[in-house]
Amino acid sequence: MRDQEILFRLIRSALGGQQPYFGTTPIEASRWWTLFRLAQRGRVAALTSLAVAEIDIPRDVKIPWLAEREKAASWYRYQEEVQQEVVKVMERRLIDTLVLKGTTLAQYYPQPELRQFGDVDLYFYARHDEADDVARRELGVGILDNSHHHTKYDLRGVTIESHRDFLNRRYPRSNRALEATLKKMAPSANFEVLYLLRHLGVHFAAGRITLRDVTDFYLTCRTHHSDVNWPVVQDVIKRSGMLPFAATLCTIIERRFEYRIPITFPVYIIGNDTAERVETDVVYGSHYSDDSHVDGMARLPWKVRRWFACRWKRRLVYSDSEASLLFASLTSHLAKPRSILHKV
């Protein structure tokens, strides 16, 4: 049994409560360490600890795996506390706040604190600049403005991303029409599905998504199954050029979670091996999956190599031509030059 099959069975067990079955051949102790590290990398170590607690695996890997649960829960509670501090400050100024991803998606998990996440993403509708001014004055933070669609600041060790827009309207150009659609929809079940799908697509096309991301999309679609207007969602997906990527995620989710997302697509929209290739990338990643270790002048040639390595991914996510994507990327970086040599 392959690593990804074991990991998805652990995730399903954690979500549904049934004990996972791994066949009759015992899994070696050294392999459990590999699976643990893959779960950490996929940001599902805390979630899968629910399943690991119920199965017999070597104690030396089981103990640190179970410890991930409390670490994640402690960090979640702290992030939620900081997030609420920002939201309450904005409420006093009558500024509406929409929480993107993060604690919103966590509510779809059996235990919200087991969804591991990093930054807190907040959207203030048309009052982004005013919200940043309030944060600067009342929370005493310094605002960094190195990205097109959000500013960010650090509040007591938690990174807050203050969104101007849901998407980067400069890259790719097809984001512009989708951004207008999302602003009309938010907040709604249709918005949640479409925003999350595009968000995952952007990260996938630029490097990688994780097991947690696939789980997020599955739980979002399942939770809102009866609330989403699926024909409308499908039409937006098609017009935005995301149908191949959506079809790939649907295929993986149907195979691994036995849940069919009601998005229809021609069988030829993705190749026979595309879902397998994407799933392998999700689980293992590649040299271009994480850019946190590359900074300064070394980042520029690394980004060029990543651009060519991720071409197959962009074809799944965007309908924009390669020339259009390259031009939009260059102009976007030139407008925010710090992003050329540094992670922003």
Is the model's pLDDT at 52 over the cut of 80?
yes
Mean pLDDT value of segment 100-116: 95
Q: What pLDDT score does 183 carry?
A: 96
pLDDT tens, 249-282?
A: 999 999 999 999 999 888 777 877 999 999 999 9
Name which of 10-14, 160-164, 173-177, 326-330 the model is least confident about.
326-330
Which of 125 and 286 is assigned the larger pLDDT? Answer: 125
| pLDDT (mean) for 205-227 | 96
Under the banding of pLDDT at 50, 70 and 90, the label for residue 283 is very high
Query: Domain map of the chain by residue range?
Result: 3-73, 168-344
Mean pLDDT of 275-293: 82
DSSP 3-state of 162: strand
- Name the average pLDDT for the chain: 92
Which has more pLDDT, 267 or 127? 127
Of the candidate ranges 24-28, 300-304, 314-318, the one whose mean pLDDT is the lowest: 24-28
pLDDT in the model for residue 298: 80
pLDDT tens, position by position, 304-321: 888 999 999 999 999 999
What local confidence, expressed as pLDDT, does residue 265 receive?
A: 86
Percent of the chain exceeding pLDDT 90 equals: 76
pLDDT in tens, 65-79: 999 999 999 999 999
DSSP for 20-46, please give it.
P---SSPPPHHHHHHHHHHHHHTT-HH
pLDDT in tens, 223-240: 999 999 999 999 999 999
- Paired residues of 155 in beta bridges: 158
Q: The sheet that has 120-123: what strands, in order across it?
A: 98-100, 120-123, 158-163, 150-155
**pLDDT at 287 (0 to 100):** 66
Tell me the mean pLDDT in the region 195-210.
95
DSSP character string of 275-291: HHHHHHHHHH--TTS--
Does residue 242 have a pLDDT over 70? yes
Q: Angle 230-239/175-185 helices, nearest 10 degrees?
A: 160
Residue pair 53/66 in contact (Cβ under 8 Å)? The answer is: yes
How many angstroms separate the CA atoms of 240 and 304, rounded? 26
Q: How far is the CA of 122 from the CAs of 30, 86, 103, 239, 332, in angstroms?
A: 41, 9, 11, 27, 22
The residue ranking higher by pLDDT, 330 or 99, is 99
Instruction: Encode pLDDT of 181-190 as tens digits.
Output: 999 999 999 9
pLDDT at 144 over 70: yes
Residues 335, 328, 187: CA angle, nearest 5 degrees: 90
